[in-house]
Amino acid sequence: MRIGSTLENQNIEKRVAITPEIAKKYIGLGFEVILSENYAYHLGIEDNEYSDIGVIISKDEKEIINSSDIIIQLGLPDTDKNNLLKENQTLIGILNPYNNEDRINDLVKKNINVFSLELLPRITRAQSMDILSSQANLAGYKAVIEAFANFEKAIPMMMTAAGTIPAAKVLVVGAGVAGLQAIATAKRMGAIVLATDVRMASKEQVESLGGKFLTVEGAENLETEGGYAKEASDDFKKKQEELLSENLKKIDIVICTALIPGKKAPKIIKEAMINQMKAGSIIYDLAAIQGGNTDYTEVDKIVEKKGVKIMGERNILNKLPTSASNLYAKNVFNFVSNLYDKENKKININLEDEIIEKTLIK
């Protein structure tokens, strides 16, 4: 069987789905691997690093798609590439089925096996395949670095003969994987960190990292069985708004990470709250691509309101493409290993396996 991957649109996505280390593992399982010419050149990886271990390098992307049993990408391929896919092929990636429903349905109608990895269940057996966790971990780290780089004051407390510089105060909104990594990174750099989340289970995790958890009075645990946040009630939102309004007056940097799978990001930081923040403060919004957690977030822009800078990028992982590619490639390899029947050398779509059943789009 053959696994193929084509170069992503470099304006949108700099990560790659197959690294040389992982290509070698696929070949060890018995697969052939075929990749686009200059597949990872932008990451400093020459084609010979792939070809030396047995990878086929092709200039013809049509050939790659036509000849592959499994196509592995980051996002959903563009329409021209999608149209090349044929019956019984398997497409694996972060395909965003909520926003690409029509295009994915067209593939399903052609009897193409479409697996979207952001739908993985949060079970122990799926942890090594969990692309959301591996990528969010890096995003939380990088969001803090980007926010601190734009903050025009020192982060840790500094005591000098001329006086004391107080530590910056950071608020992390949403204490999932990205939020927890943001807390850990900000603490390591000497900031005072506060955090809030609709899931009460997050309190212990936040405090274990040295953060202070802001608890909404009378809060209920808004967590799905899969471990994700679910939408809060109007009463909860009102109480959360009051709590944030009071605390934001003293905050220097806000890292927003709140997302609800399949829906627009909740608007948490409102205009009135931003108006009360100190001039020079920074808001970094990791939810920008899904509408943002603030009233002013714009994708790939720094918006300034009353001296407060609001930042949000389409894909912050393009600033860490090598690390992100290494983790993504390993996640996908573990997924393919679970899907592949090595003895019979074929894909085994066993719908009794929760991992396969949840990620297959039917």
| 65, two tokens | 């798609």
Residue among 130, 197, 252, 285 flagged as catalytic: 130
Torsion angle, alpha carbons of 148, 198, 316, 251, to 10: -20
Residue among 122, 295, 323, 353 flagged as catalytic: 122
DSSP state of 271: H
What number of H helices and E strands is found in the chain? Answer: 12, 17
CA atoms within a 13 Å half-sphere pointing along the CA-CB vector of 121: 11
Residue 290: active-site member? no
To the nearest 10 degrees (0 to 180), the angle between helices 20-29 and 321-339 is 10
Interacting residues of 300 by C-beta distance below 8 A, sequence separation 6+: 288, 312, 313, 314
| 78, two tokens | 């563009």
Residue among 98, 228, 323, 353 flagged as catalytic: 228
Closest of 131, 140, 123, 217 to residue 174, by C-alpha: 140
Q: Are 203 and 215 spatial neighbours (Cβ–Cβ below 8 Å)?
A: yes
Interacting residues of 6 by C-beta distance below 8 A, sequence separation 6+: 35, 36, 61, 64, 65, 71, 73, 77, 81
| DSSP codes, 174-239 | --SHHHHHHHHHHHHTT-EEEEE-S-TTHHHHHHHTTPEE-PPTT----B-TTS-B-PPPHHHHHH
CA-based angle 263:129:292, to the nearest 5? 25
Phi and psi for 76 in degrees, rounded to 5?
-65, 130
Closest of 138, 142, 174 to residue 331, by C-alpha: 138
Residue 5: active-site member? no
Residue 39: active-site member? no
Residue among 80, 127, 188, 276 flagged as catalytic: 127
Residue 122: active-site member? yes
Residue 340: active-site member? no
CA pair distance 132, 272, nearest whole angstrom: 32
As annotated, the active-site residues are 122, 127, 130, 133, 228
